[in-house]
Structure formats: structure tokens, C-alpha cells
Amino acid sequence: MGRLLSFQTWLVLSIIWAGAMAYLCIASWPEVPLDISAIDPATVVALRAAIIRHAGLYALLAIGPPVLLFVLGRGILGRKT
């Protein structure tokens, strides 16, 4: 029962964490300022690079800590039984 409860707790906290990271990702999404041309090829390339970097960072932040916590928890709980 303890392991199941721990997994359920981890799952709920992971979903909350991922939701928080998704919110922060959307709230800080890269945009083109109004004083810069949005159709300039260099601006388009820079914006695409910023979006890929931004999305990758927040994906890593959303997935990394829960996976690390799962692996560490699995190791600690695995030793007790």
C-alpha cells in the first residue's frame, strides 16, 4: 500500500508541476516587439530559434524533476523492501 500511495502522490505532484511549467512557458512565450519588422528573414530565424530554445527549456523543466524524483524514490523504496 505504501508504494502505491507513493506512486499516486508522485503522479499528482508531477501533473501539478507539469501544469505549472506549461503555464509559465505560455506566459513567457517569445514574441516579436512592435518596433521590429516581423517579416524580416533574420527576425524570423531568430524568433524560431528563440521559440525552440524556450519550448525545449520548459519541456526539460517539466519532465526532468519528476523523472529524477521517480528514479531517486524508486531507488530508496527499492532498498527498504
> pLDDT, tens digit, for every residue of 15-72?
999 999 999 999 999 999 999 998 999 999 999 999 999 999 999 999 999 999 999 8
**What's the pLDDT score for residue 2?**
61
CA dihedral 17, 19, 22, 26 (to 10 degrees): -130
CB 57 within 8 A of CB 36: no
d(CA 5, CA 25): 30
